[in-house]
Amino acid sequence: MKQAHDLLMEATRKLMAISAIPEWEHELLDKAPPVLWFGDAASEKPKILSFGANPSRWEFLDERGIKKASLQKQEYESRYLSEEKRRFFHLDAAQRWQDILHNTALRTQIINSFNQYFKSGNAYRWFGANKYDSYNAEGLLRGMNASYFDTETSFRALHIDLFPFTTIRDFGSIRGITERDVLSGFWARDLVYEIINMLQPKRLLVFGAGNLNYFCAYFGADAGPAEHWKSQGAGALGSCRVHRFQHEQIPVTGLSVNLGNPKGFNAQGLRELGEYLSGNAV
């Protein structure tokens, strides 16, 4: 089994390789290392692992005052989060991606920032808030007796992505070059496989129909027929398709909704869905 330092170096080499391709020149943030996972990998609690597309630019940049998502790369360069608001380690002005390959202490700082993400007090709103009635992904997890945060829940949740590179545009806007340069072949699949093996989750949650399709393509999995779930509780809102299958003896639940932006749900509906999933494990 590969270790975190090995995986970070592999991802950095790939990041450097795609940065040399002209179409990627204005998509990558120079101070952003690869993000292999979000959350405390050292936790002794059994783990639930959520799965999305790729890290948002707002993990490294300050979005205050931005009214459009089409800013150019040079306009982002002055918008890196201040030191007190950072969620992940940022390379400084003198550091380059290749330094990650040769500097063990630098890799350790980056990996520690993965583990400290939900302890930073500034987790991106995509994940939700550290409270029982949270919205977004945390709301669902609380219904499963799990949390991204350091709580009294039985399970610790972590998050990984289809590929680990922070991009300026959303995945949907760069799908073509991503499929061509990152997702084709076996590189991204093998990295995800190694991260899953390292984290040893008890359960996988895949958010969004598109991400589920990629996950199944990665691992040759058949998601099977969908259940159609709809909230039943008074005041609860939410409905989605639910797929259940196995990945190497790990139960996988695929949801048609992106839990970072769960349209049609309220906090009560997310919690109810989490309770439903927890009571109907594969």
Q: Which two tokens stand for residue 43?
A: 């936790």
Is 216 in contact with 222 (CB distance < 8 Å)?
yes
Beta carbons of 87 and 118 less than 8 angstroms apart: no
pLDDT of the chain along its 282 residues, tens only? 789 999 999 999 999 999 999 999 889 999 999 999 999 999 999 999 999 999 999 999 998 866 555 566 667 778 899 999 999 999 999 999 999 999 999 999 999 999 999 998 899 999 999 999 999 999 999 999 999 999 999 999 999 999 999 998 899 999 999 999 999 989 999 999 999 999 999 999 999 999 999 999 999 999 999 999 999 999 999 999 999 999 999 999 999 999 989 999 999 999 999 999 998 443
pLDDT per residue as tens digits for the range 119-129: 988 999 999 99
**What pTM did the predictor assign?**
0.94
The domain spans of the chain are 4-279
Tokens of 27: 């998509």
Nearest to 116 by CA among 38, 185, 211, 28: 38
What CATH code is assigned to 4-279?
3.40.470
CA distances from 256 to 210, 220, 226, 268 (A): 8, 19, 9, 18
Which of helix, strand or coil describes residue 236? coil
Listed as own residue / partner, the contacts of 70-78 with beta carbons closer than 8 Å and 24 or more positions apart are 71/168, 72/26, 73/25, 73/26, 73/27, 73/168, 76/29, 76/168, 77/30
Distance CA(29)–CA(80), nearest Å, equals: 10
Strands 203-207 and 227-230: unpaired
Q: Which residues pair with 28 in a beta bridge?
A: 167
Count, in order, helices (H) and strands (E) of the chain.
9, 7
Instruction: From residue 152, give the alpha-carbon distance in Å to each of 118, 145, 147, 247.
Output: 15, 9, 9, 28
* CA atoms within 13 Å, Cβ hemisphere of 98: 2
Please identify which residue in the block is written with the tokens 């002055």.
78
Distance of CA 242 to CAs 42, 75, 128, 270, Å?
A: 30, 40, 21, 13
